[in-house]
Amino acid sequence: MVCNSSDNSSSTSTTKINGDGGLSEYQLGKCISTTELSQVYMATNRKGKELVVKKISTLRVSADLIRNEIYAGKKLRHPHIVKMVDHFTEGLYTYIVLEYIKGTDLLQYMIDRQWKPLKEKEAKSIFKQLLSSLIYSHKQGIIHHDIKLENVLLSKNRKKVKLIDFGLCEPVHDCSKLSQRWCGSFDYVSPEILAKTPYSGCKADVFSLGVILYSLLFSQLPFDFNERVNEVVHRKRSHPSLKIPEIDDDTGLPFDVSSNAKDLVKKMLEIDPKKRISLEDITRHSWMKSSYSIFPTFTSSFPSSTTTSTTSSAIAVGCGSSCK
Ligand SMILES: Nc1ncnc2c1ncn2[C@@H]1O[C@H](COP(=O)(O)OP(=O)(O)OP(=O)(O)O)[C@@H](O)[C@H]1O
Ligand SMILES: [Mg+2]
């Protein structure tokens, strides 16, 4: 990752505080992330509050995607979803201003602990928070489409997580609507996206969340990256089946993962989206039972698991024109 320590590259923007609104309201600082599509900067507002500013190239990212990210930012208010506080377009860039989450993303967290698997209790705490954010987001009619370790921020005390990056999100009326956006990150996307068949975005998000749970518990990704790439390139129709490892290759010790946790992982990573567990059914799964109280206001608006209608190491899957 290459970052400049500060940004002065935008043709019309200035980091000076001059009271004109827009970018002039913010003092940009260190760049904390950069891709060819966007950069994320530390920033402060006029009151000195720390924020981050995501600067998106309007030449490189489609207007649809930018509109959707802003739509999600305006609509979603949830304790485990990053809060958007402002947005504006200046010159060739759209700027999205977000609350600053001090901490690290989950991928960096796993790297820092040398991919030592999380204890089930810690994995469950993270998972519960993400599950509640996703249930809420889907209830608000927003499919995330890019659930991955890099897009989950963990607070400094490691107790709280927040879902970020709605840059590939899709507004939908309900979960039975089939999506045809072939986007996501190879390690995380569902088999139906790799196979390029119309799919339920809700079930695809469940699969990606399952990849996160698997990687927290087993400190590895569930499917081979190259095999998945081949699947798209050579249009192979059969997806490799899931293997639940017994032994941690790094330590030679058996993984300390309960059968309930393994069962939930298998149900989330079910290849057939019609048989894959729904978010609602996850809340009723035995592994979740002891913690059901985090969903006090949840009421069903999801199809059950049997009634569904017919970008690190992350790389976007052969995106269509509507994708960044
Ligand atoms: N609100 C925030 N607080 C702290 N750090 C953040 C915040 N938003 C983003 N970041 C950091 O910037 C990185 C990139 O942000 P984001 O995922 O939104 O952008 P992106 O350009 O779409 O990235 P990618 O293409 O990898 O998905 C995050 O992984 C995180 O490290
Ligand atoms: Mg991201």
250-267 pLDDT tens trace: 888 889 999 999 999 999
Per DSSP, the three-state class of 172 is coil
297-68-187-81 Cα dihedral, nearest 10 degrees: -40
- pLDDT band per the 50, 70, 90 thresholds, residue 239: confident
Residue-level pLDDT at 78? 98
Residue 53 sits in the same domain as residue 111: no
pLDDT at 87 over 50: yes
Task: Spell out the alpha helix ranges (H) of 37-105.
Answer: 63-75
Measured in Å, residue 90 CA sits from the centre of ligand 2 at 22
Residue-level pLDDT at 295? 44
Lowest mean pLDDT among 112-116, 267-271, 297-301: 297-301
Task: Collect residues with CB below 5 Å from ion ligand 2.
Answer: 151, 165
Residue 245 sits in the same domain as residue 257: yes
Residue-level pLDDT at 195? 87
Last residue of a domain, one of 72, 99, 126: 99
Residue 124 sits in the same domain as residue 92: no
As a whole number of angstroms, the distance between CA 91 and CA 36 comes to 17
pLDDT at 205 over 50: yes
Order the strands of the 84-90 sheet from edge to edge: 27-34, 38-44, 50-57, 93-99, 84-90
Residue 23 sits in the same domain as residue 139: no
What percent of the chain is modeled with pLDDT above 70? 81
Question: pLDDT digit string (tens) for 174-186?
Answer: 888 899 888 889 8
pLDDT at 37 over 90: yes
Measured in Å, residue 95 CA sits from the centre of ligand 2 at 15
Written as six digits, the tokens of 173 are 């009326």
315 CB near ligand 1 (under 6 Å): no
Contact 23, 14 (CB under 8 A): yes
Residues in the chain: 324
As a whole number of angstroms, the distance between CA 95 and CA 316 comes to 22
| CATH number reported for the structural domain that contains residue 108 in this entry | 1.10.510.10
Last residue of a domain, one of 69, 99, 129: 99
Residue-level pLDDT at 224? 82
Atom of ligand 1 nearest to the CA of 98: 1
Last residue of a domain, one of 50, 81, 99: 99
Task: Single out the residue of 280, 254, 256 nearest to residue 267, CA to CA.
Answer: 280
153 CB near ligand 1 (under 6 Å): yes
| CATH number reported for the structural domain that contains residue 81 in this entry | 3.30.200.20
Q: By alpha-carbon position, which residue is closest to atom 13 of ligand 1?
A: 33
Residue-level pLDDT at 317? 44
Residue 147 sits in the same domain as residue 220: yes
Domain assignment of residue 7, yes or no: no
As a whole number of angstroms, the distance between CA 53 and CA 56 comes to 10
Residue 68 sits in the same domain as residue 121: no
Residue 47 sits in the same domain as residue 115: no
> What is the arithmetic mean of pLDDT over 3-28?
56
Known catalytic residue at 112: no
Mean pLDDT score across all residues of the chain? 84
- Among left, alpha and beta (phi > 0; psi -120 to 50; other), residue 297 is alpha
150 CB near ligand 1 (under 6 Å): yes
Measured in Å, residue 57 CA sits from the centre of ligand 2 at 15
Task: Single out the residue of 230, 315, 227 nearest to residue 243, CA to CA.
Answer: 227
Catalytic: which of 20, 86, 105, 146?
Answer: 146
More confident residue, 170 or 238: 170
Domain assignment of residue 201, yes or no: yes
Domain assignment of residue 5, yes or no: no
Mutate to test the pocket of ligand 1, among 2, 7, 30, 33 (most ligand atoms within 8 A of CB): 33
154 CB near ligand 1 (under 6 Å): no
Per DSSP, the three-state class of 87 is strand
pLDDT at 169 over 60: yes
Residue-level pLDDT at 237? 66
Residue 31 sits in the same domain as residue 77: yes
pLDDT at 151 over 90: yes
Residue 53 sits in the same domain as residue 199: no
As a whole number of angstroms, the distance between CA 70 and CA 95 comes to 10
Residue-level pLDDT at 285? 97
Give 247's strand partners. Answer: 254
Q: By alpha-carbon position, which residue is closest to atom 21 of ligand 1?
A: 38
Residue-level pLDDT at 91? 96
Per DSSP, the three-state class of 224 is coil
57 CB near ligand 1 (under 6 Å): no
| DSSP element (H, E) containing 103 | strand 103-105
Mutate to test the pocket of ligand 1, among 97, 161, 165 (most ligand atoms within 8 A of CB): 165
> What is the arithmetic mean of pLDDT over 205-215?
98
Domain containing 50 equals 18-99
As a whole number of angstroms, the distance between CA 39 and CA 34 comes to 4
Atom of ligand 1 nearest to the CA of 314: 26
Residue 41 sits in the same domain as residue 174: no
Domain assignment of residue 287, yes or no: yes
Domain assignment of residue 94, yes or no: yes
As a whole number of angstroms, the distance between CA 213 and CA 219 comes to 10
Residue-level pLDDT at 236? 64
Domain assignment of residue 155, yes or no: yes
> Other C-beta atoms within 10 Å of 195: how many?
17
- pLDDT band per the 50, 70, 90 thresholds, residue 57: very high
82 CB near ligand 1 (under 6 Å): yes
How does DSSP classify residue 185? B
Mutate to test the pocket of ligand 1, among 66, 84, 164 (most ligand atoms within 8 A of CB): 164
Question: pLDDT digit string (tens) for 61-75?
Answer: 999 999 999 999 999
Per DSSP, the three-state class of 30 is strand
Contact 43, 26 (CB under 8 A): yes
Residue-level pLDDT at 319? 39
Residue 147 sits in the same domain as residue 287: yes
Measured in Å, residue 151 CA sits from the centre of ligand 1 at 7
Give 267's strand partners. Answer: none
| Domains of the chain: total | 2
What percent of the chain is modeled with pLDDT above 90? 69
- pLDDT band per the 50, 70, 90 thresholds, residue 229: confident
Residue 246 sits in the same domain as residue 127: yes
Domain assignment of residue 190, yes or no: yes
Domain assignment of residue 305, yes or no: yes
pLDDT at 276 over 90: yes
